[in-house]
Structure 1
């Protein structure tokens, strides 16, 4: 993924699936200058700082 797409997902009103290391995450913040993002694991609820190019978009998520 690139920084522009990560920022689009962050600002989107839709819920778009994103994975980091095979786990679903929520993008909290994007730093385009450093090409990094803060993401929170949906299962564990811990936040980590990652390289944006390691994020994988999986598509729209079903609404609960």
Structure 2
């Protein structure tokens, strides 16, 4: 995934499926300088830092977040 798309997903009102090492994750923060993202794994709820390029955008919208 590229930085622009990671930002789009992070601020989108839609829930878009993103994978890291075949596990669904939520993007918490994107750092442009280091090209990393802070993500939360949805299966273990653990927060980790990863390179944005290692994230997979499936394009699948699984719902919407109401604001």
Same fold (TM over 0.5): yes
Q: CA RMSD in A?
A: 0.9
Aligned equivalents of 1:62, 1:37: Cα separation in 2? 21
Moved over 3 A (4+): none
Secondary structure, counterpart of 2:9 in structure 1? helix
Alignment coverage as a number of residue pairs: 63
TM-score normalised to the size of structure 1? Answer: 0.92
Gaps of 5+ in 2: none
- TM-score normalised over the length of structure 2: 0.89
User: Structure 1: which 5+ runs fail to align?
Assistant: none
CA distance in 2, matches of 1:13, 1:60: 13
